[in-house]
Chain A
Amino acid sequence: MKSLQNSWRRLENLFNPAFGQALNPWYHLGAIIYFLFWVVVVSGIYLYIFYRTGVNEAYQTVESLTHDQPYVGGVMRSLHRYASDGIVVAMLLHMLRSFIYGRFHGFRWFSWVTGVLLIWLVYISGINGYWMVWDRLAQFVAVATTEWFDWLPLFSQPLARNFLAQGNVSDRFINMLSFIHIFIPLLMLLFMWVHTKRMNNAETYPPQSLAAGTLLALLALSLVKPALSHAQADLALVPAALRLDWFYLAPYPLIYAWSPGAVWALVGGFTMLLLAVPWLLKPRGRVPVAEVHPDNCNGCERCFKDCPYSAILMRSRQDGRPYALLPVVDPKLCASCGICVGACPSSMPFRRHGMVSGIELPDKLLLALRADTDHALDGLRGKARVMVFGCDCAYDVRALQSEEVAALSLPCIGMLPPAFIDYALRDSRADGVLIAGCRECDCQYRLGIRWTEQRLAREREPRLRQRVPAQRVETCWAGPPDEKLARAALSALQARIAQLPRAAFEDDGELELEHR
């Protein structure tokens, strides 16, 4: 699995030279789906203004939109089609990527399962959209769908009998289709909200330039290859050659090549398998979740605000301490990433007594991290001594270790309290600090990099202290296979600090909690 993950990361890295890490579309697939959804909604509203819900009118109005106003209606229709297709592409890649990176088990099961249900809604909505044109393709899809459903022992009469002859289809039927085509996307939107409900600061809009590029690509495609209808539906005829939209209709030929039952087995079996993935591929054992230490907590809510999965709730405090709130960790939602530890103002390595934070990972105590940091710093020799703090999910920084370089890896770089940078540089124990994590915008725990960058930029609590010289701190966002990137960042930092005087700053004594 690791090698598959690294191969996939290399594929994604191909986009970095052109887009940069911040705009790499692979890291924003979920947000791109949201964006495409809104393109479909806006273009759909325009089309619906002109659409008439009659057997003949449905086809005629779509034809009129396509040919009588090609640069508005035609483009809108094509955008509607291609953005819908784009949703399928982005959705399947999003799912495949989540699977390859193992982002489906434990606290993530909810997003995975709701994502699988969303696939059905996307397909129902897209296939239903093809019916609405009421051309030969719609006829084929309608007949094939009903023949497929008739395999299920659910209906007293075969549904396909509704499409036996031309007169069987009424205006009311087309009206019902248009109602479904509004209702299902609304349901989809609700599920998209549910899908991201457990995410704190969910990205529901891609970076502007990515959105603009995607829209331009769809517009260009709409102008070069406008979406066109087949001939009008005629139930006395059997559609022979069809220009299928394979993104939505790929299973349909299988209904006739195999059998309706076989397609149900394929689709139903695949769905059940996907739904079971979080439990079938569940890793053995579980990392202990974060624990709150009320004696060291002042209820500042930073852990609550920074938790990427809303696993921390603030409850009113009953222990007589002069603080209103106390965080409570929901073990089912906790990712054990330690970002809350990095957010806690009590995570202060300078404290000489009682080095316990307000919230801790039981198997990665800050006391141990400080001891490891001390041990690592004590062993440093040379002119450009660097302390590297890395992330277990990113490039393994321990491979950088040498006489001049010490490295420690954390579950997520977001776990590192900025005070540890200060701590490593005080008394010239190190000449520089390298902060390494997953690729930008691709943090395994979503927000570790964002919060770290904001903390280092002194835009987010806990801020890096002003006395830490910016020249002595470098960040590097590199995935497991990105050794070159990590070594380049290290070399750049060492070259820079070699030019600086040795002494960074002196320790100014024990720091205690601001609120005590």
Chain B
Amino acid sequence: MKPLNYLGQGVAYALFAVVLGYFSTSPEYEHMPPDQALVKLSFSHAAQRKGACRERTDEELAKLKPNMRIRKDCPRERANVVVELEMDGKQMYHVELPPPGLAHDGAASIYRRMPVPAGTHRFVVRLKDKVDGDFDFVHEENVDLVAGRALVIDFKADVPGAPGFMFKK
């Protein structure tokens, strides 16, 4: 093999290395502009049942198998969960989440990411989890969103004493 052959091979290997080296980190990807922050609205919540529960009579209970004899009889189907999010008086998001599952009795879930300009904003978030009536849960808060940070808006109905929305920065 001649020196020129080795030189040619060296050039080919160098080209291979340069391609690997460059595209393994470059060009840089800007996932989010530097003046923006991110709002993530996400929770999982089982809405109230569509119909009211009732007590079974003794006769009804007797007809059931022993392991099925539960006094309370509740319909399985749940209501839709309605959520609204406002920022600085403007509605950012509105969604009606049907309960999942064949019997429509599961917990409705949401995960929504919304890039917003960094700065101080007033957020209002509302949730309704029954068939009729107004929103059951409303939360308002002024949040100073620093660029590059995420604000997570979660909802928990089972927090003792303070069920409702939680803003996590």
Contact = CB atoms under 8 A, between A and B. Distances in A.
Interface of A: 15, 17-20, 25, 81-82, 85-86, 89, 140, 147, 150, 156-158, 160-161, 164-165, 213-214, 216-218, 220-221, 224-225, 227, 235-247, 252-253, 256
B31 A227 contact: no
A247 B13 contact: no
A278 B38 CA distance: 46
B168 interface: yes
Contact of A236 (B24, B31, B106, B169): B169
A257 to B, nearest CB: 10
A221 B17 CA distance: 6
Given A15-B12, A235-B150, A147 B28 contact: no
Nearest to B38: A238
A240 B148 contact: yes
Contacts of B158: none
Nearest to A140: B31
A236 to B, nearest CB: 6
The secondary structure that dominates the A interface is helix
A144 to B, nearest CB: 9
Interface stretch (B55-63, B107-115, B133-141): B107-115
B74 interface: no
Contacts of A213: 9, 13
A238 B25 contact: no
B11 A18 contact: yes
Nearest to B16: A217
A238 B37 contact: yes
Given A89-B19, A217-B14, A241 B29 contact: yes
B8 interface: yes
7 contacts: A18-B7, A89-B19, A140-B31, A164-B168, A213-B9, A240-B30, A243-B26
Contact of B111 (A19, A25, A161): A161
B48 interface: no
A81 to B, nearest CB: 6
Contacts of B24: 81-82, 85, 227, 245-247
Contact of A224 (B11, B21, B37): B21
Nearest to B146: A237
Nearest to A250: B23
Contact of B17 (A18, A140, A220, A235): A220
Contact of B23 (A18, A161, A246): A246
A25 B11 CA distance: 13
Contact of B28 (A18, A82, A150, A242): A242
B7 to A, nearest CB: 8
Contacts of B109: 156-158, 161
Nearest to A218: B17
Interface residues of B, number: 45
A242 B29 contact: yes
Nearest to B111: A158
B13 A216 contact: yes
Nearest to A16: B8
B87 interface: no
A132 B147 CA distance: 27
B20 interface: yes
Sorted nearest first, the 3 A-B pairs with minimum C-beta distance are A18-B8, A158-B111, A217-B13
A100 to B, nearest CB: 20
A89 B23 CA distance: 11
Contacts of A20: 1, 5
A214 B26 CA distance: 22
Contacts of A165: 152, 168
A89 B149 contact: no
B42 A86 contact: no
Contact of B20 (A86, A235, A239, A243): A86
B154 interface: yes
Contacts of B23: 85, 245-247
A245 B8 contact: no
B89 interface: no
B148 to A, nearest CB: 5
B9 A243 contact: no
Contact of B113 (A17, A147, A157, A235): A147
B98 interface: no
Contacts of B38: 238
B6 to A, nearest CB: 8
Given A17-B5, A164-B152, A238-B37, A156 B31 contact: no
A160 B38 CA distance: 14
A156 B102 CA distance: 12
A157 B109 CA distance: 6
B53 interface: no
B95 interface: no
Given A18-B11, A147-B111, A237 B21 contact: no
Given A19-B12, A240-B34, 4 more contacts: A82-B24, A156-B106, A161-B109, A245-B25
A243 B28 contact: yes
A33 to B, nearest CB: 14
B117 interface: no
Nearest to B115: A238
Nearest to A17: B8
Nearest to B1: A20
